[in-house]
Amino acid sequence: MSEQRTIHTAVISVHDVMPETLTAVGHLLNALGEIPPASVTLLVVPGRRWQQADIDWLHEHQDLGYRLAGHGWMHCCDAPQSLYHRLHSLFLSRRAAEHLSLSRSQINELVARCYGWFADQGLNSPTLYVPPAWAMGNVAKPRLQALPFGQYETLSGVYHSDGDSFDRLPLTGYEADSPSRAIFLRRFNQYQRYRAACTGLPLRIGIHPYDLRHRMANDLLKDVHSVERAMHYENYRDGCQKRQH
């Protein structure tokens, strides 16, 4: 498998946008270079301690063209109870996958509350919901059609609730805060770039606020600066040469 650094089409998201990360997120957005704001989605965590200055920050960036999306409620959870959640926490999410500790009805309530928060702050209602750690939990697709968001992103792709369709899309991540994570993510990302190049599907580039401080900062910058065409979640299908449902 040869290394692919030219990324023809990408969909870029910045995770964990909350009051305590806004400074880091601002530095990250500055590092994106020529990527237009309208092609960058900010994943907002509503349940944190938002002050008026923080809400103003969201309004300012929304006015600049950045798109806002829902990203859980607190982005943290209690100690995992199930074996699946314990393994998920150990290898991927630590304590971020809050959906995995909730019942189906609790997830439904969380998603609906997340959606309503944006309008309560005078912000545009988002179309996209991304559960923390991309872990949707115990919610069947038919139930998602009754919830307010139009799109739901998981590790494997994006579900469109209005048309009941799912696109499997490659994904890269850079949250390498340990040597073992860096080794895994470099191999994982290489394969995902290869998938995107071979299939013509957009590459989802998922960025976390402190990625520029971690071991894969250079990988992140190389990927972002290799993007030929940046799109967003509402129009990425226009850039698909092949589509999977």
Closest CA to 36 of 235, 214, 212, 189: 235
The bridge status of strand 203-207 relative to strand 7-17 is parallel
Closest CA to 100 of 145, 131, 129: 131
pLDDT beyond 80 at 88: no
Class for domain 7-239, per CATH?
alpha beta
Q: Which residue has the tokens 């305590």?
A: 20
Sequence spans of domains, the chain: 7-239
Amino acid at 67: R
Q: What pLDDT is recorded for position 196?
A: 95
Residue 223 has which token pair?
């990927």
pLDDT beyond 50 at 144: yes
Q: Which residue has the tokens 């929304």?
A: 62
Mean pLDDT taken over the chain: 89
pLDDT tens by residue, 116-139:
999 999 999 999 999 998 888 888
pLDDT beyond 80 at 14: yes
Q: What pLDDT is recorded for position 241?
A: 53
Q: What pLDDT is recorded for position 81?
A: 60
pLDDT beyond 60 at 109: yes
Q: What pLDDT is recorded for position 207?
A: 97
pLDDT beyond 70 at 94: no
Higher-pLDDT residue of 240, 225: 225
Q: What pLDDT is recorded for position 242?
A: 46
pLDDT beyond 90 at 27: yes
Q: What pLDDT is recorded for position 100?
A: 83
Mean pLDDT, residues 149-172 taken together: 95
The model's pTM is 0.91
Q: What pLDDT is recorded for position 80?
A: 52
pLDDT tens by residue, 165-199:
999 999 999 998 889 889 989 999 999 999 999 99
pLDDT beyond 90 at 243: no
8 A C-beta contact, residue 100 and residue 85: yes
